[in-house]
Amino acid sequence: MSIQPRPPIYPDPCAAFYAGAEPVPTVTTTQMVEVDRAMVEDYGISLLQMMENAGRALAGQARRQLGGSVVGQRITVLCGAGNNGGGGLVAARRLQDWGAQVDVTLVHHPDEYHGVPQHQLQILQALHRPVHSAGLPSPGAALTIDALIGYGLNSAPQGRAADLIHWANDQAAPILALDTPSGIEVGSGQVFQPAIHAAATLILALPKQGFLHPEVQPLLGTLLVADIGVPPELYLRLGLEVSSIFARQDTVALSCQQDLGPSGEASPTA
Ligand SMILES: NC(=O)C1=CN([C@@H]2O[C@H](COP(=O)(O)OP(=O)(O)OC[C@H]3O[C@@H](n4cnc5c(N)ncnc54)[C@H](O)[C@@H]3O)[C@@H](O)[C@H]2O)[C@@H](O)CC1
Ligand SMILES: [K+]
User: What number is the ipTM of this complex?
Assistant: 0.97
In this predicted model, what pLDDT tens digit does every residue of 136-194 receive, in sequence order? 999 999 999 999 999 999 899 999 999 999 999 999 999 999 999 999 999 999 999 99
* d(CA 22, ligand 2 centre) in Å: 26
Task: State the angle between helix axes of 47-65 and 29-41 in degrees (0 to 180), rounded to the nearest 10.
Answer: 120
Site to substitute for ligand 1 among 77, 151, 234, 238, most atoms within 8 A of C-beta: 151
Q: What DSSP state is assigned to residue 237?
A: H
- The reply to whether ligand 1 has any atom less than 6 angstroms from the CB of 178 is yes
pLDDT > 90: what percent of the chain? 84
Q: 80 CB less than 6 Å from ligand 1?
A: yes
Question: What's the distance, Cα to Cα, between the start and end of the chain in Å?
Answer: 33
Residues near ion ligand 2 (Cβ under 5 Å): 146, 177-178, 182
50 CB under 6 A from ligand 1? yes
Q: Which fold has domain 16-257?
A: Rossmann fold (3.40.50)
Nearest atom of ligand 1 to the alpha carbon of 51? 44
Are the C-beta atoms of 140 and 74 separated by less than 8 Å?
A: yes
Residue (of 39, 119, 134, 57) closest to 83 by Cα position? 119
CA angle 65, 14, 150 (to 5 degrees): 55
What percentage of the chain carries pLDDT values higher than 70?
90
Mean pLDDT of the chain: 91
Q: Tens of pLDDT along 209-239?
A: 999 999 999 999 999 999 999 999 999 999 9
pLDDT at position 269 is 41
Distance of CA 65 to the CA centre of its chain: 14
Which helix (H) or strand (E) segment holds residue 226: the answer is: strand 222-226
* This prediction's pTM: 0.93
C-beta of 86 in contact with ligand 1 (< 6 A): yes
pLDDT band with cut points at 50, 70 and 90 for residue 266: very low
86 CA: nearest ligand 1 atom: 43
Q: What is the pLDDT of residue 6?
A: 45
